[in-house]
Amino acid sequence: EAQVTQNPRYLITVTGKKLTVTCSQNMNHEYMSWYRQDPGLGLRQIYYSMNVEVTDKGDVPEGYKVSRKEKRNFPLILESPSPNQTSLYFCASSILAANNEQFFGPGTRLTVL
């Protein structure tokens, strides 16, 4: 089944404790992106990747890191999480670019205490 998977789906952590949210797609897509969704603010792009080893900042990159060492995986790293990073996170992928259909993962609900 073609899909984007994210893990974990739910995470409660404490300020400053490094964490990684994994994202994997099995559709051989070039483009991958991370979003956060907050009430009243909508979906905002954190980072994106056009291809392996090619990543760039989105609208809200502060406090996040990403890597794209393999085409299928695009992990999101929070080196020192803070409460303002409490949010619902979505990973998405598309065949070539943002203006192709994006397939979203199921989401990761993160709470930082």
Residue 10 as a binder of other proteins (CB under 8 A): the answer is: no
Contact 68, 76 (CB under 8 A): no
Tokens at residue 45, please? Answer: 């792009």
Least distance between other proteins and beta carbon 109 (Å):
10
Q: Alpha-carbon distance 17 to 89, whole Å? A: 18
Q: What angle do CA 100, 75, 78 make, to 5 degrees?
A: 120
Residue 30 as a binder of other proteins (CB under 8 A): the answer is: no
- Select from 12, 43, 95, 113 the one that contacts other proteins (CB under 8 A): 43
Q: Residues 64-103: x/- map of binding to other proteins (CB under 8 A)?
A: --------------------------x-----xxxx-xx-
